[in-house]
Amino acid sequence: MKVVFIQIRLILLMLALIGGVSACKGDGEVAGTQQMTPSKQPAIEDSDGSTTPFKNKIKIGFSMDTLKEERWQKDKDLFKKAVESLGAEVEIMAANGDDAVQIMQAETLISHGIDLLVVVPHNAEAVASIVKKAHSAGIKVLAYDRLVKNADVDLYVSFDNEQVGEMQAKAITRLVPKGKYVYIGGADTDNNAHLFKKGVFNVLQPLIDKGDITVVYDQWTKDWTPANALANMQAALKANNNQIDAVIAANDATAGGVIQALTAQGIAGEIPVSGQDAELAAAQRIVEGTQTMTVYKPIKLLTEKVAELAVKLARGEETGADRKVNNGKIEVPSVLLPPITVDKLNIDDTIIADGFHSREDVYKNVKNK
């Protein structure tokens, strides 16, 4: 009986020991599971000292109308540099004036997993479909320099383009308060071209109403090309027997075509001509005396502002847009930067002082510089 009792105690002891081991093992598994649970994502410190969860590097898609003009090459290079300086990356595609290509390229950028799409539209209306496609993929859209019409654009960043037109007209009317005027506009498909023209006629219309100024030729320039502007100016000269007193050209590319036509007639430098974009060729024409003025829109300022706001928009942060611009569908939150009038008197203190063009390049064809 005693032996049986001892055996029973041994069995109970073994069961207790087994239970303890199991309990210890169970505790160990729970602890191990807790140790393997992913910790919270590390935080990054924002400029205001607050912290936000770490995210993968932000990728911006940049859909450009063209790289055929000097101005847009600068935009591309400076924007890329500005985005990368903020720790983001950018993929750039240019359609060179083809609406179908731009839409296809935007779709490609969307498929590449971008966080935000920045668009310089060739056609303000056609690009509306890009905005819709991007939004369907959960991607916001920022309109760069040119407004996208009839679309739910998230942000528009540009210069005050109506003011650009006003600057052009004021500069020319100061020199020619009365006379026959030619207006060589930009591309009808570009909303900016309409804004420039509106600004020009804000200034001209009161003088037209007084009878001081007569606009004897007014035409858009397809695709902004100098060749089409040349054809327009040749037609204007022919229709008026070269009796023209002033020309307002919407940008420097069209001004180049205008001045080519004037040169062929031996009257370049006699007729004031406006421009815009501060292209090198225009700066050279200004110091040579064949172009009266241009409007400088500091592209470095634009690219840095767009890069900053694009990253904020991609992160879901506030952009601080302080303006609204109607695009035919909504009041688009907008940031508009101030342009600068440039002529022979201040060219050294503006585009040259900013390093936009070197003094050597601007004055290389001028004697006694």
Chain-wide mean pLDDT for the chain?
88
Per-residue pLDDT tens for 153-180?
999 999 999 999 999 999 999 999 999 9
CA distance 208 to 196: 18
Mark whether 125 and 171 lie in a shared domain. Answer: no
Total domains in the chain come to 2
Mark whether 169 and 265 lie in a shared domain. Answer: yes
Mark whether 130 and 190 lie in a shared domain. Answer: no
Predicted local confidence at residue 141, as pLDDT: 98
Predicted local confidence at residue 365, as pLDDT: 81
Question: Over 80: is that where the pLDDT of 14 sits?
Answer: no
Inter-residue contact 97 to 68 (CB < 8 Å)? yes
Question: Over 80: is that where the pLDDT of 90 sits?
Answer: yes
Q: Is residue 29 part of a domain?
A: no
Mark whether 229 and 100 lie in a shared domain. Answer: no
Predicted local confidence at residue 191, as pLDDT: 93
Q: Is residue 253 part of a domain?
A: yes
Please, what is the Cα angle at 326 between 329 and 215, to 5 degrees? Answer: 120
Per-residue pLDDT tens for 329-360?
999 999 999 999 999 999 999 999 999 999 99
Nearest to 293, CA basis, from 241, 240, 346, 348: 346
pTM score of the predicted model: 0.76
Mark whether 230 and 350 lie in a shared domain. Answer: yes
Q: Is residue 251 part of a domain?
A: yes
Mean pLDDT of 197-218: 98
Mark whether 208 and 353 lie in a shared domain. Answer: yes
Sign of CA dihedral 64, 69, 74, 75: negative
Predicted local confidence at residue 369, as pLDDT: 57
Label residue 56 by pLDDT band (50, 70, 90). confident
Q: Is residue 136 part of a domain?
A: yes
Q: Is residue 239 part of a domain?
A: yes
Q: Is residue 30 part of a domain?
A: no
Question: Over 90: is that where the pLDDT of 42 sits?
Answer: no
Q: Is residue 22 part of a domain?
A: no
CATH code (residue 198): 3.40.50.2300
Inter-residue contact 89 to 310 (CB < 8 Å)? no
Mark whether 291 and 353 lie in a shared domain. Answer: yes
Domain, as residue range, for 215: 161-297+341-363
Inter-residue contact 181 to 249 (CB < 8 Å)? no
SS3 95: coil
Question: Over 80: is that where the pLDDT of 304 sits?
Answer: yes
Mark whether 133 and 78 lie in a shared domain. Answer: yes
Nearest to 229, CA basis, from 272, 262, 185: 185
Cβ-based burial of 125 (10 A; exposed 0-12, middle 13-18, buried ≥19):
middle
Q: Is residue 290 part of a domain?
A: yes
Label residue 44 by pLDDT band (50, 70, 90). very low
CA distance 348 to 116: 38
Mark whether 267 and 322 lie in a shared domain. Answer: no
Q: Which string of b and e fits 63-102 if b means at least 16 CB within 10 Å? A: bbbbbebebbebbbebbbebbeeeebebbbbbbebebeeb
Mark whether 308 and 292 lie in a shared domain. Answer: no
In one-letter notation, the amino acid at residue 301 is L
Mark whether 292 and 252 lie in a shared domain. Answer: yes
Mark whether 178 and 286 lie in a shared domain. Answer: yes
